[in-house]
Amino acid sequence: MPIKPKYCAKCGQTLTARELEGRVRTVCPACQTVFYENPLPVAAAVVLNEQREVLLVKRRREPHQGQWCLPMGFAEIGETIAEAAQRELREEAGIEAEIVRLLTAESHDSRHYGDLLIVTFELRKTGGRERAGDDAEEVRYFPINAPPPLPFASNARALRACEAAHLEEWAIRDSFVTLQAQTDQAMLSDTLVALIQERAEEVARAWLADVRANPSTRCYQALDEQQLLQRGTCAISQFGRWLKGSAADEEVKEFYRILARERRSQGLPVHELLSSLTLLKKHVWEFASRHHRWEQPIDVYRLLELSRRLALFFDKAMYQAARGFGEARG
């Protein structure tokens, strides 16, 4: 426990304990100076690398010698708490960094130092090289969601707060990578795709009304309405598989080449077939836009991602339809 003063720093008299302002406080009986006891301010730093790993230091001294924790230490006179976090990071881990955000501020009862106020910031590395300082045995990055046991509960809570702060950013980044790679992994817009599939007939009916009235698809007025509705509903209900990319390429190819041969045999020109697919894309997009929530920035990305996926898919569908039409003519 921290050592309490015994003598008055002003007059040298022996201090006494007295109830004052609802607490027992240390008071000088001679000059009435009150010696308030306040929590010691501690600054801690969370630094992430591009792999979403957090920088930790292994403690060289007690308390908790040999255990991993965030770079942290007491704030000094003449510096702000944020400057203290930057200094401790430089002294313990060897790097320069700028403040990104405040993560947590909470109390901690230490057997060695008494009451502490630990303030944790996220910082972004701007220079230097990771190396262990005087108070650290080792410096290393660990996955932020799987760190070693941390002796300070405030460190663990700060890491969770940091993860929460990056949740949308990382989800968008992961989904973008998946979109670029055209893999079968989950994407943010999958929730919209599932809704479109669930309401496939509703979307198909809106498309049917348009395709039978639109000047660019006049020949569709002569086709059987129920068959058009069934074919449109079937196509929309398959989007979940078809939008995944290469895994469904053969299925998309077969579906749209068969469709093109049917329309060719029914006497439709190729431009009306392609126009009907453009209208289908429009109604899928309009349905998603109407039923999409706009509460957070990630919701905007979710819709933009769907737009990108639809564009890629319908480019593929139109190409296969045009090829199928050409094969039928040949």
Assess if residue 185 is contained within a domain: no
The answer on 92 and 30 residing in a single domain is no
Residues labelled as active-site residues: 138
The answer on 132 and 67 residing in a single domain is yes
Assess if residue 181 is contained within a domain: no
Assess if residue 182 is contained within a domain: no
Under 8 Å between Cβ of 193 and 243 = yes
Average pLDDT, the chain: 91
The answer on 92 and 221 residing in a single domain is no
Q: How many CB atoms lie within 10 A of CB 185?
A: 13
Assess if residue 263 is contained within a domain: yes
Distance CA 286, CA 192 (A): 12
Bridge-based pairing of strands 114-128 and 68-69 is: unpaired
| pLDDT tens track for 228-279 | 999 999 999 988 888 866 557 888 899 999 999 999 999 999 999 999 999 9
Per-residue confidence band for 147, with pLDDT thresholds at 50, 70 and 90 = very high
Please give the tally of structural domains in the chain.
3
The answer on 62 and 109 residing in a single domain is yes
The answer on 55 and 81 residing in a single domain is yes
Assess if residue 173 is contained within a domain: no
Cα→Cα distances 64→57, 61, 67, 127, 151, Å: 12, 7, 6, 29, 7
The answer on 157 and 95 residing in a single domain is yes
Cα angle for residues 88, 67, 40 (degrees, 5° grid): 45
Position 176 scores a pLDDT of: 74
| pLDDT tens track for 163-176 | 999 998 898 788 77
The answer on 69 and 29 residing in a single domain is no
Position 112 scores a pLDDT of: 77
Q: Is the pTM of this model over 0.75?
A: no
The answer on 198 and 308 residing in a single domain is yes
Residues in the chain: 330
CATH number of the domain bearing residue 304: 1.10.490.70
Distance CA 28, CA 9 (A): 9
Assess if residue 172 is contained within a domain: no
Structure tokens at 168: 């949308």
The answer on 63 and 147 residing in a single domain is yes
Distance CA 280, CA 312 (A): 14
Assess if residue 212 is contained within a domain: yes
Tokens 């944790």 identify what position?
120
Hey, is 188 helix, strand or coil? Answer: coil
Position 287 scores a pLDDT of: 95
Partners of residue 141 on adjacent β-strands: 55
Q: Which of 48, 44, 45, 28 is nearest to 36 (CA)?
A: 28
Name the residue range of residue 150's domain: 40-167
The answer on 323 and 206 residing in a single domain is yes
Structure tokens at 53: 């790993």
The answer on 271 and 144 residing in a single domain is no
Residue 330 pLDDT > 60, yes or no?
no
The answer on 212 and 120 residing in a single domain is no
What's the CA dihedral at 111, 112, 116, 122 to 10 degrees?
Answer: -110
Distance CA 55, CA 45 (A): 9
Candidate from 142-146, 189-193, 325-329 with smallest mean pLDDT: 325-329
Assess if residue 79 is contained within a domain: yes
Q: What percent of the chain has pLDDT over 90?
A: 66
Residue 203 pLDDT > 80, yes or no?
yes
Burial class for 44, CB neighbours closer than 10 Å (0-12, 13-18, 19+): buried
CATH number of the domain bearing residue 26: 2.20.70.10
Position 329 scores a pLDDT of: 66
